Chains A and B, each alone.
Chain A
Amino acid sequence: MKKKLVSVMLCAAMAMTLLAGCGGSPSDSDSAAGGDANAPSQGEDSTSGGDKEQADASADDADQNGSDQATGTGGKSCAILVKSAGNPYNKKMIEGFQEIMDAEGVTCVVKEPEEASAEAQIKMINELVAQGISSIAIAGNDPDALQPALEEAMNQGIKVCCMDSSVNADSRQLFVNQAGIEIIGETLMEAVYDITGGEGQWAILSATSQATNQNAWIDAMKTVMEDEKYSKLELVEVAYGDDEYQKSVDQTQALLANYPDLKVICAPTTVGIMAAAKVLKDEQTDVKLTGLGLPSEMADYIGTDDAHSCPYMYLWNPIDIGRLTAYVSLALVDGSITGAEGENFTAGDLGDYTIEAAADGGTEVVLGPPFAFTPDNIEEWKNVY
């Protein structure tokens, strides 16, 4: 009896490995075909019967796909490499990217590292180079560490641009910036000023102490704060929740305990703002919250009355970042832009964009100002992203 159980288990496991081994190709094929039935759903069902057929089917898929790619080397294939898997924000960015690539008939390759580390991204860049990809669009986990790998890629003639979180100026041709760093700094400071009524203590809850974009925004906020207008605001602490839910909760509770007079917490990170919102709701304090957050995650906490801690917050549309990045990648591959300052291009429905000089010495295109989510529009947006 037990023996049977064990052998059944083993067989299931082996079949699953087999399936998984072949099942990988769907993620590729669906990226070519248009991304709803992705590989994940197959893997999860595989414990049930019919493994063989599924495996066969996906093997066929793989063959077909392989030949597609082999013949397609003359054509174009563009890759998007996000920070990490398992994050809806990244997923939305990928969706936007894929949508445009499919519309243009270009092969789209999606890479999501299992953890948000530069090492994992370097490995994936090497894999992309080996596939002879035309362009890489990357959201960097580290601004400097990817430089050697990306330079190597550019030496092979691959076009490199980045979105969302920038890599340094030497390792990219163009940065698709979701919103200008200064604008974000000013917007958030204005929000803090507005919610506190112009005076009192406030704190920042950031992601990891290493996150480039977070630190840039926090620095921008600090610069803005030097203005006379904000002189009555006191920034008491910058806490780091490491983009981990539990740690962010701990940090928020510590902020509340340490600073009884705290008026506002500003969390420019999607995980942090969610955790902070939860704490503020449970503790039923008067402390208010603002920052950058995903509307779907924050829908429960946005409102003007006392029961809701967050009167309004900001974000940009990650789907649009993906779309704009796709247009940028295509234009770089076409050669219609090179990433130099002053060049113009048209990004489909998004309109015309001009490449500007970025603060770090490179160039960038800016998607637009951050969008405010208020109690009036949150119901509409929470289902979008």
Chain B
Amino acid sequence: MKKKFSLKGITSSRETSLVIVVILLCILVQLRNSAFLTPGMMENLFKNYAVTMIMALGMMCVLLIGGIDIAVGSTLGFSGMCASLFLRDHPGMPVIAIFLISIVIGTVCGTLIGLVISYGKVPPIIATLGGMYVFRGLAYLVAKNEWVAAYQFTDGYKDFAQSKYLGFGLLNNLIVLTIVIYVLFFIFFKWTTVGRKIYAVGSNAEAAEVSGIKIKQVKIMCYAILGFLTGLCGAIYTSLYASAQGDMGTGLEMDVIAACVVGGVSLNGGRGSVVGVFLGALTMAIVGRALPLIGVSQFWQTAIKGLIIIAAVILNVLTQRVMDKNNLKGREM
């Protein structure tokens, strides 16, 4: 019981430090460019990074069980491309059907990877590395090297990412979608047995197995969840950018993983929270968004991004160490 309490303490204060980082970043950027903290800019930020934010949640599931998935960029490209091609050939389809197609394809891709990992006993990085090549190749092949252009999309589909009908005219659809998914996942991890099982498998797989959790099923489920969200993002991506290219989402996996890790998710499994992931993804979004705004030379931006990631990760470790020390002290007393 005592242990549970201290664990809670750690996660909550780790998030506090992230909140401080986010606020500091915002202030710094705001000082350089007053256009930053405006409603329009914020809406753009959340809209454009909705994909990263949603996928980071899925990636968290996979990281929690000690896995990793570097195929998500390709999965997004493949599912988004399939859905867009379908829309191109069947312009009468409702928006929701296109989303469903993309989601189904994404889920199938994720499940396949999960099966290979749990039953084929292939290390996650290899399975997803293979998946990365395969799905990317398939995305090119199904599209026959073509793009799906804006005029080939229906208006309803293009407008989805721009209009606000899900948010009752107040909030952009994508932002509403992001919020709903985050709330659902918060509940899922906090108060459902399945959600707790994921943590159990991640922190100690053997103990989890002994206590009757079917590890393989949990693993497949996690990859399927990530696939599901990736498929959803495939549709969001094509709707947001009103076009589909075979190479879309290249390199996205690293952004998503970086968002998770900055948010305090451990690559060793078992540690991470929905709030942390949100803050991590937000930090990455602010960095990506703000660098062009503050007038830094084009050529410096990549290096600065790298530095920020390294700094954030190391900061994470340092706060963790301090907290561990304090906890230890508390126990001695």
Query: Among the listed A2, A43, A90, which residue makes an inter-chain contact with B141, where contact means beta carbons less than 8 Å apart?
Result: A43
| Interface flag for B242 (CB, 8 Å) | yes
**Which residues of chain A are near B317, meaning CB under 8 Å?**
none
Tell me, rounded to whole Å, the shortest Cβ–Cβ distance linking B290 to chain A.
Answer: 9
| Interface flag for A88 (CB, 8 Å) | yes
Q: Which residues of B, 287-311, contact A by the 8 Å Cβ criterion?
A: 288-289, 292-293, 295, 298-299
Tell me, rounded to whole Å, the shortest Cβ–Cβ distance linking B219 to chain A.
Answer: 13
Partner-contacting stretch, out of B96-104, B145-153, B176-184, B267-275: B145-153
| Interface flag for A85 (CB, 8 Å) | yes
Q: Which residues of A, 233-270, contact B by the 8 Å Cβ criterion?
A: 239-240, 244-246, 249-251, 253-254, 257-258, 260
Tell me, rounded to whole Å, the shortest Cβ–Cβ distance linking B233 to chain A.
Answer: 12
Alpha-carbon separation in the docked complex, A79 to B149 (Å) = 29
Contact with A along B31-56 (1 / 0, CB 8 A): 00101100001001000100000000
Q: Which residues of A, 354-374, contact B by the 8 Å Cβ criterion?
A: none
Tell me, rounded to whole Å, the shortest Cβ–Cβ distance linking A97 to chain B.
Answer: 14
| Interface flag for B120 (CB, 8 Å) | yes
Contact with A along B253-297 (1 / 0, CB 8 A): 000000000000000000000000000000000001100110100
| Interface flag for A377 (CB, 8 Å) | no
Tell me, rounded to whole Å, the shortest Cβ–Cβ distance linking A43 to chain B.
Answer: 5
Query: Among the listed A86, A258, A300, which residue makes an inter-chain contact with B151, where contact means beta carbons less than 8 Å apart?
Result: A300
Given contacts A5-B115, A86-B247, A296-B149, contact A257 B41 (CB under 8 A): yes
**Which residues of chain B are near A297, meaning CB under 8 Å?**
147, 149-150, 243
Tell me, rounded to whole Å, the shortest Cβ–Cβ distance linking A159 to chain B.
Answer: 26
**Which residues of chain B are near A9, meaning CB under 8 Å?**
112, 115-116
Asked whether, in the complex, the Cβ of B241 is within 8 Å of the Cβ of A249, the reply is yes
Alpha-carbon separation in the docked complex, A209 to B302 (Å) = 13
* B251 (CB) vs chain A CBs: closest residue: A244
Query: Among the listed B142, B248, B292, which residue makes an inter-chain contact with A254, where contact means beta carbons less than 8 Å apart?
Result: B292
Sort chain A's interface into a size bin.
Answer: 35 or more
| Interface flag for A301 (CB, 8 Å) | yes
* A10 (CB) vs chain B CBs: closest residue: B120
Asked whether, in the complex, the Cβ of B246 is within 8 Å of the Cβ of A250, the reply is no
Alpha-carbon separation in the docked complex, A265 to B139 (Å) = 31
Query: Among the listed B35, B138, B146, which residue makes an inter-chain contact with A44, where contact means beta carbons less than 8 Å apart?
Result: B138
Alpha-carbon separation in the docked complex, A299 to B149 (Å) = 9
* A253 (CB) vs chain B CBs: closest residue: B44
Asked whether, in the complex, the Cβ of B241 is within 8 Å of the Cβ of A246, the reply is yes
* A284 (CB) vs chain B CBs: closest residue: B162
**Which residues of chain B are near A244, meaning CB under 8 Å?**
250
**Which residues of chain A are near B246, meaning CB under 8 Å?**
85-86
Tell me, rounded to whole Å, the shortest Cβ–Cβ distance linking A17 to chain B.
Answer: 10
| Interface flag for B128 (CB, 8 Å) | no
**Which residues of chain A are near B248, meaning CB under 8 Å?**
245
| Interface flag for B19 (CB, 8 Å) | no
| Interface flag for B144 (CB, 8 Å) | yes
Asked whether, in the complex, the Cβ of B243 is within 8 Å of the Cβ of A40, the reply is no
Alpha-carbon separation in the docked complex, A38 to B143 (Å) = 12
| Interface flag for B165 (CB, 8 Å) | no
Asked whether, in the complex, the Cβ of B150 is within 8 Å of the Cβ of A278, the reply is yes
Asked whether, in the complex, the Cβ of B247 is within 8 Å of the Cβ of A299, the reply is no
Asked whether, in the complex, the Cβ of B292 is within 8 Å of the Cβ of A278, the reply is no
| Interface flag for A142 (CB, 8 Å) | no
Asked whether, in the complex, the Cβ of B298 is within 8 Å of the Cβ of A209, the reply is yes
Given contacts A209-B298, A258-B33, contact A88 B147 (CB under 8 A): yes
Query: Among the listed B138, B141, B245, B293, which residue makes an inter-chain contact with A245, where contact means beta carbons less than 8 Å apart?
Result: B245
Alpha-carbon separation in the docked complex, A300 to B158 (Å) = 11
Asked whether, in the complex, the Cβ of A88 is within 8 Å of the Cβ of B146, the reply is yes
| Interface flag for A19 (CB, 8 Å) | no
Query: Among the listed B48, B146, B247, B289, which residue makes an inter-chain contact with A91, where contact means beta carbons less than 8 Å apart?
Result: B146
Alpha-carbon separation in the docked complex, A144 to B120 (Å) = 46
| Interface flag for A48 (CB, 8 Å) | no
Tell me, rounded to whole Å, the shortest Cβ–Cβ distance linking A103 to chain B.
Answer: 22
Alpha-carbon separation in the docked complex, A85 to B247 (Å) = 9
Asked whether, in the complex, the Cβ of A44 is within 8 Å of the Cβ of B149, the reply is no
Asked whether, in the complex, the Cβ of B120 is within 8 Å of the Cβ of A6, the reply is yes
Asked whether, in the complex, the Cβ of A300 is within 8 Å of the Cβ of B146, the reply is no
| Interface flag for A174 (CB, 8 Å) | no
| Interface flag for B188 (CB, 8 Å) | no
Given contacts A258-B295, A297-B243, contact A40 B144 (CB under 8 A): yes
Asked whether, in the complex, the Cβ of B144 is within 8 Å of the Cβ of A41, the reply is yes
Tell me, rounded to whole Å, the shortest Cβ–Cβ distance linking A142 to chain B.
Answer: 18
Asked whether, in the complex, the Cβ of A85 is within 8 Å of the Cβ of B140, the reply is yes
| Interface flag for A382 (CB, 8 Å) | yes
Asked whether, in the complex, the Cβ of B151 is within 8 Å of the Cβ of A240, the reply is no
| Interface flag for A274 (CB, 8 Å) | yes
Q: List 23 A-B contacts (CB under 8 A).
A: A6-B119, A9-B116, A40-B141, A40-B145, A41-B141, A43-B138, A86-B143, A86-B145, A87-B147, A88-B146, A91-B145, A209-B299, A239-B292, A239-B298, A250-B288, A258-B33, A277-B150, A296-B149, A297-B149, A297-B243, A299-B150, A300-B150, A300-B242
Q: A246-B48, A299-B149 are in contact. List 7 more A-B contacts (CB 8 A).
A: A6-B115, A6-B119, A86-B143, A239-B298, A258-B35, A260-B35, A300-B150
Closest 5 CB pairs of A and B: A86-B246, A254-B292, A40-B141, A300-B150, A299-B151
